[in-house]
Amino acid sequence: MPATLAALARLKERGELEPPAEAHAVTPTLREWYAEGDDEELEYVAFTRAAQGALRLLRHDPGAPRRRVVVSVDVPAAVLRRGDMELGSSLVDVTAAVPLAAVASIHVDGAAAEGDVAAAADVVDEAAAGDPDAQFTVDGAEDHELEWYDPSELGQLT
């Protein structure tokens, strides 16, 4: 699930995450598109797309710290609806709030990524529309690996 540091603060305060506008998972259409990929590779594709979703969240929240956040969750299939049915899509709709107990891990950019993430957030929509210069900028942010945190470390992130 794409998120921001502000969303992590709400998670800590309320004990749950609101359903995001977009979330990503290994869907049947993703599995069909990447037929040669194993589960780990497919999960990485969904994770990378969630990180791009975090850039879109940052673009629309100029006051948020410029760090991508991805929250990996384990939720029952009953709270997921398939999103985009396009071949290769990883989009899903989360139909209910996600409790802190369902959070498997939290991934956040380090401080060194802030400049590249800020630049990428400014042009992420243009990159998605096919602008090669914007895509180069987004790729610069994607060169930064998100740091892994256990849910018990949530207090250190907010």
Please, are residues 32 and 54 in contact by the beta-carbon 8 Å criterion?
A: no
Cβ neighbors of 109 (< 8 A, separation 6 or more) are 66, 67, 68, 69, 117, 144, 146, 147
110 confidence band (pLDDT: 50, 70, 90): very high
Q: Model confidence at 53, in pLDDT bands (50, 70, 90)?
A: very high
Give the pLDDT score at 44: 93
Instruction: Say whether pLDDT at 156 is over 80.
Output: yes
33 compared with 69, residue with greater pLDDT: 69
**150 three-state secondary structure:** coil
Average pLDDT over residues 25-48: 89
